[in-house]
A and B are shown apart, each in its own frame.
Chain A
Amino acid sequence: MVIISTIFSLSSGHILGVWLGLELNMLSFISFSIQSKNFNEVEAGLKYFLIQALGSGFWLLGSFLFYLSMGSWFLFETIVDFNNLIGLENIFCMAKVIMMWGLFMKLGAFPIYFWVPSVMNEMSWFSCIILATWQKFIPLILLSYLIGPETFFLGIIVSVMSSLVGGVGGLNQTRLRVLMAYSSIGHLGWMIGLMYMSWIGVMVYYGVYFVVSLSVFLFLWLFEFSSFMQVTGWRMWGKSMLILFSLNFFSLAGLPPFLGFMSKWVALQAMVNSGSYFLGCGLLVGALMNLYYYTIVVMNVSV
């Protein structure tokens, strides 16, 4: 159902159809994430529901404003001609900003990122995987239709701040789910910033992030880790497993010889080519802090 709703949402041209897909996606995700009837999972599902419903609400509000200014419900086929928009540019920009705001909320980007760690902390590892990877797909694609030069400043601020928050938030964590939540916020910052430079780049980044974080999450899931106290028992699984585990984390951090570096490379190349050096520097600082707490995890494992 999660997959079907994603396809539905992304293939409908009508804004309200997209909205329907978003809601369906949220409901189906909640329904399988609270299967175990554990109280914590229900609480996490409730938090997730509230935030996502609010995000969809913003999307709906923005789409009405969009219709008001453009006279069209079709987000993707409409050619924005500012000459026809005299007097309505403000409404049009506001519509865009409100829709983007809703999507940032659904993604868990900078201003409204608080829910991601607390929701992921209480979910099962499988739901965490879906939340950190698959659930980012629709909002990212929709975001890519909305971005434009008039929202550049907003996007850059959100991107850099998400990256920094993702770095700072994870520094003192001992719970691995929260740590992975902050790491996903950090990577989200990279994707949002990259979106202004290159669309292909975002797809590469998303694909690489999907694969690498999937392998990290699967490790954590299979060995049922949730905090550092449990991680330290690596002697049960031997040296080669330990090395694989650490290499996965280094790959997620984007250290050069690994796959994760490719996404960083693509992103930085796009940023340097379009001349936004400071965006690149800000994101790199966030990525360094990410690397720092991944290193702490690896060090804890290899005691």
Chain B
Amino acid sequence: MFGMFSSGSGWKFSSLGVLGWDSMSMSLIFLVFWISGMMMMASYSLESKGSSYMFYSLVYLLTVILFLCFSIMNMFYFYLVFEASLIPTLMLILGWGYQPERLQAGSYMLMYTVSASLPLLMGVLCVYSLFGGINFFSVVYVDSLMTEGIYMSVFMLSLMLAFLVKLPMYFTHLWLPKAHVEAPVAGSMVLAGVLLKLGGYGLMRMMSFFWGGFHTVYSVVGILSLWGAMITSLICLRQSDVKSLIAYSSVAHMGLLIGGLMSGVYWGWEGSLIIMLAHGVCSSGLFALAGLSYDILSSRSVVVNKGMLVLLPSLTFWWFLLSVCNLAGPPSLNLVGELFLISSILSYSDYLCFVIGVLSLFAAGYSLYLYVSTQHGKVSLYMNSTVINLSGRVNSMFFFHWVPLNLIIFKVDL
């Protein structure tokens, strides 16, 4: 399906006035529609609670906004819909979240992303007045001499900051675990699956617009986020909240992505796109699993979520498959992406092999920790230990999460 639009090795591009698509935006648009369908399947329990009408309208609205976001070529309109995607997400968290802390989480998310994206607005307006054009597909060849100097660095950084917060990079990630913990299942799925990728997409577009222009900022951002990713993977190991663990794991993966992207070579670029797709589907599936466990056990703590192999043997199967994908186990798209990224980072500097080694090791570590601590062990005394069968709807949802991860590997020239 993805291959259809990228047959051959060409960089196909089709345009329709304001909207335009190349193979990068097309594959991300497929991701949007895929995840939206999964969101609806995962939130089936809302049907019985009677608030499903507004929920579905919000999901539709978000899907349309994200579709526009990935297909708009004009930088200013992109900023507009980029910010517009925040409102339905906020409504999802505020309206269907579980605890009162969701208010704090929502305002964290709003303040972090908006305060980082106002520099982007200034930057886009500056680009317009400096270069006279704000079309993504027109490339400005920036002389590397031009990017010396503190003002130019600040200008470049202001263009990237919004996306670095959205991704999120290590130092600006604090809103993400909060938002994930408080969001409903569908909210976390779209947040991890698509909204983070919006940041990666914007970063890649900005970098291709200023081809060769970011070198002063590249190194700082790339290395900071790689070290941040290493620290985050250590943080993951001491999380007791399943959703928070998955959220931190996505911070770690995105740190690797930024590192690869900032190495400035084509492999890093390709690897970023692949890992965006892979991580989008994979983390969305993990959040769906966590949400389902929460529906059954009413807890997200790893202390209570124990011995689910006894309670839900068929769910364990999906936990296993998706954890393996999360740690970049062999037949998965994540593996391809990480290999691309790691080789591009090593081409940038050999000294980073230590950081990458620790990062990959602990990525495997926390994925195993997530799997083992929830599936094995003794069932909590407070639980009825009767085997629960999963419905066909749930099984097919996880099947559709897992299939693209292990089939697209046959056609990775996206």
B86 within 8 A of A: yes
CB distance A288 to B115 under 8 Å? yes
CB distance A295 to B122 under 8 Å? no
Tally inter-chain residue pairs, CB-CB below 8 A.
63
**Interface residues in B121-179 (C-beta closer than 8 Å to A):** 121-122, 125-126, 128-129
CB distance A256 to B79 under 8 Å? yes
B91 within 8 A of A: yes
Instruction: Specify which chain B residues have a CB less than 8 angstroms from the CB of A277 in the assembled complex.
Output: 122, 126
Q: Shortest CB–CB separation between residue A187 and chain B, in angstroms?
A: 16
CB contact between B126 and one of A256, A272, A287, A299 (< 8 Å): that residue: A272
CB contact between B86 and one of A255, A261, A302 (< 8 Å): that residue: A255
Which residue from chain A places its CB closest to the CB of B126 in the assembled complex? A272
Q: Please report whether the interface of chain A is mostly helix, strand, loop or mixed according to DSSP.
A: helix
Question: For the complex, what is the distance from the CA of A280 to the CA of B103, rounded to whole Å?
Answer: 30
Q: Shortest CB–CB separation between residue B223 and chain A, in angstroms?
A: 27
CB distance B84 to A256 under 8 Å? yes
A303 within 8 A of B: yes
CB distance B125 to A269 under 8 Å? yes
Instruction: Specify which chain A residues have a CB less than 8 angstroms from the CB of B79 in the assembled complex.
Output: 256
Contacts A243-B91, A273-B129; A268 near B122 (Cβ below 8 A):
yes
Chain B interface category by residue count = 20 to 34
CB contact between A295 and one of B83, B91, B111 (< 8 Å): that residue: B111
Instruction: Specify which chain B residues have a CB less than 8 angstroms from the CB of A273 in the assembled complex.
Output: 129
Which residue from chain A places its CB closest to the CB of B130 in the assembled complex? A272
Can you list 27 A-B contacts with CB-CB less than 8 angstroms, sorted by A residue number?
A239-B54, A239-B95, A243-B91, A247-B87, A255-B86, A256-B80, A256-B82, A256-B83, A257-B81, A261-B80, A265-B121, A268-B121, A272-B122, A272-B128, A277-B122, A284-B118, A284-B122, A288-B115, A288-B118, A291-B111, A292-B107, A292-B111, A299-B104, A299-B106, A299-B107, A302-B95, A303-B103
Interface residues of A (CB under 8 A from B): 239-240, 243, 247, 250, 255-257, 261, 265, 268-269, 272-273, 277, 280-281, 284, 287-288, 291-292, 295-296, 299, 302-303
Interface residues of B (CB under 8 A from A): 51, 54, 79-84, 86-87, 91, 94-95, 100, 103-104, 106-107, 110-111, 114-115, 118, 121-122, 125-126, 128-129
